[in-house]
Amino acid sequence: MLSKQEYEAAQKQTIKFLERANIVLIEEEKKAIEVADFGLGELEQTGLEVVVYANTSRCCAKELVLFPRQTCPEHLHPDVAGEEGKEETFRCRWGEVYLYVPGEPAPDPKAKPPQRRKEHYTVWHEIVLKPGQQYTLSPITKHWFQAGDQGAIVSEFSTISRDEFDIFTDPDIKRATEVGKQTI
C-alpha cells in the first residue's frame, strides 16, 4: 500500500523526469499518472510510473518512467478471451534500461533484482536499451526490466493493454495499487 502522499510525490517525480526529457503532458495527464507499486510497498525498488496516451480495443501507447534502479517485476501478458496476448515494443527515450527475456542468460547482468525477491526473477537474457534503441516482445514472453543509475523513460507501443490480466512470477504481487484505502 502507498499513502496518498507517497503516490503524489511519485507523480511529481515522474513529471520532473519527463520534463527533463522535454516530454510534454497536459494537466489531466499529469493528474492521471499511474504509480504502480505492485502491492509490495517498496516503490523505490519495485515499481513503475505510467502515462497512458491511448488504449483502444486495437492499440495502445504509454510512456513508462523508472526511477534510478527501479524494477518492473517479471511478468507476461497472456491471451485474453481468445485474443492473442499483448505485443509490446519498448523504445528507450532517456536514460538506460536493462530488459530481460528468455534465452542465454547474461553472465554478469547489469540489473540486480531486489535481493529478497531474487527467486522470482527467472529469465536472464539481457537487452540493454539506450536512447533510440528498442525491442519488440512477442506475446506470452516472460520479461522484466530495471532502469540504470539515472532512471529511464521508455515509450511503449503495443496492442490493447489489460494490465489486470498480467501474470507475475512473484506470487506476492498485486497489479492494482492500493492508495490509502482506495484501489487504483
What residue ranges bind a second copy (CB under 8 A)? 21-26, 29, 53-54, 56, 58-61, 84, 87, 89, 91, 93, 131-134, 136, 155, 157-159
By three-state DSSP, how is residue 6 classified? Answer: helix
Nearer to a second copy, 6 or 166 (CB): 166
Query: What is the distance of C-alpha 154 from the center of its chain?
Result: 9
Nearer to a second copy, 54 or 80 (CB): 54
Closest contact distance (angstroms) between CB of 137 and a second copy is 11
Look at residues 14, 43, 44 and name the one whose alpha carbon lies nearest to residue 31. Answer: 14
Cα–Cα distance, 129 to 148 (Å, whole number): 10
Cα–Cα distance, 85 to 78 (Å, whole number): 5
Cα–Cα distance, 144 to 90 (Å, whole number): 12
Nearer to a second copy, 56 or 182 (CB): 56
Closest contact distance (angstroms) between CB of 120 and a second copy is 29
Cα–Cα distance, 23 to 28 (Å, whole number): 15
Nearer to a second copy, 91 or 143 (CB): 91
Closest contact distance (angstroms) between CB of 170 and a second copy is 28
Closest contact distance (angstroms) between CB of 86 and a second copy is 9
By three-state DSSP, how is residue 75 classified? Answer: strand
Closest contact distance (angstroms) between CB of 60 and a second copy is 8
- Give yes or no for a contact between 66 and 51, defined as CB atoms under 8 angstroms apart: no
Cα–Cα distance, 34 to 20 (Å, whole number): 19
Nearer to a second copy, 40 or 50 (CB): 50
